[in-house]
Amino acid sequence: MPPDEAKRVAVIFSEIAAKKLPIKDLENWNIGKDGERICLLTNGVPLLDEAGNLKGYRGVDKDITERKRIEKVCELLRKNSGIF
């Protein structure tokens, strides 16, 4: 994960974890094995021990890089065509 993105996500995640909330559709940019930037959509549920203490999260990441690229192209087309 790029350093600037790590800082951004850390702020969001610390708030979620402090409240023991589920992670819901957290978009975050990472660096893939090939060095390319990829966008992941993260969802997870908190894992609590018997005393209610947060032990971690169980969840999934979905690669939404292509969707984000398409959204960016659509945004550029809207701006260039004058359509709001």
Q: What is the phi/psi pair of residue 30, to 5°?
A: -130, 175
Q: In this predicted model, what pLDDT tens digit does every residue of 1-42 receive, in sequence order?
A: 999 999 999 999 999 999 999 999 999 999 999 999 999 999
pLDDT at residue 80, rounded to an integer: 85
Q: In this predicted model, what pLDDT tens digit does every residue of 50-62 receive, in sequence order?
A: 999 999 999 999 9
> CA distances (Å), 34 to each of 1, 4, 47, in order?
13, 20, 32
User: Does the pLDDT of residue 83 top 70, yes or no?
Assistant: no
Q: What is the phi/psi pair of residue 57, to 5°?
A: -135, 145
CB 42 within 8 A of CB 23: yes
User: Does the pLDDT of residue 84 top 60, yes or no?
Assistant: no
